Chains A and B, each alone.
Chain A
Amino acid sequence: MSEHVDHGPGFYVKTWGILLVLFAISVIGPIAEIRWLTLITAFGVAVVKAYFVAARFMHLDIEKRYINYMFATMLLMMLLFWGGIVADIGAHRGSNWVRIAPSQVQAPGSLSQPKVNAMKVEQSDETTSEEPTIESEGH
Chain B
Amino acid sequence: MGLVQPIATRRSATGIPTGKLAVWWLIGSEIVIFGGVLVSYIILRHYHADWTEEAAATNVWLGGLNTFVLLTSSLFAVLAHYYMEKRNDAKKASMYLWLTVVGALTFLVVKSFEWTHEIQHGYVMTKSLFWGFYYTAAGIHGLHVIAGAVIMGIIAIQIRQGKHYNRVELIGLYWHFVDIVWIFLFPLLYIAK
Contacts and interface: CB of A to CB of B under 8 A. Distances in A.
Interface of A: 1-2, 5, 7-9, 12-13, 15-16, 19-20, 23, 26-27, 29-30, 38-39, 42-43, 45-46, 49-50, 53-54, 56-58, 64, 66-67, 70-71, 73-75, 77-78, 81-82, 85-86, 89-90, 102-103, 137-139
Given A1-B85, A57-B74, A90-B47, A27 B64 contact: yes
Contacts of A15: 75
Given A5-B82, A67-B24, A78 B183 contact: no
6 contacts: A1-B81, A26-B186, A27-B60, A64-B15, A71-B28, A139-B50
Given A81-B39, A82-B43, A89-B44, A46 B31 contact: no
Given A1-B84, A5-B85, A86-B43, 19 more contacts: A1-B169, A5-B81, A12-B78, A16-B72, A20-B68, A23-B67, A23-B68, A27-B60, A54-B180, A57-B78, A58-B172, A66-B14, A67-B16, A74-B31, A77-B35, A78-B36, A82-B43, A139-B54, A139-B129
Given A27-B64, A74-B31, A81-B36, A46 B176 contact: no
A77 B75 CA distance: 30
**From DSSP, what is the main secondary structure of chain B's interface residues?**
helix
A139 B127 CA distance: 8
A42 B44 CA distance: 19
- What are the 9 tightest A-B residue pairs by CB atom distance, in nearest-first order? A42-B187, A78-B35, A74-B31, A138-B129, A16-B75, A42-B191, A139-B128, A57-B78, A57-B176
B39 A70 contact: no
Contacts of B20: 1-2
**A1, A29, A54, A86: most-surrounded residue (chain B CB, <10 A):** A1
A102 to B, nearest CB: 5
Interface of B: 14-17, 20, 24-25, 27-29, 31-32, 35-36, 39-40, 43-44, 47-48, 50, 54, 60, 64, 67-68, 71-72, 74-75, 77-79, 81-82, 84-86, 127-130, 132, 165-166, 169, 172-173, 176-177, 179-180, 183-184, 186-187, 191-193
A57 B24 contact: no
What secondary structure prevails in chain A residues at the interface with B?
helix
A19 B14 CA distance: 31
Contact of A23 (B16, B29, B50, B71): B71
B193 A30 contact: yes
A23 B187 contact: no
B28 A70 contact: yes
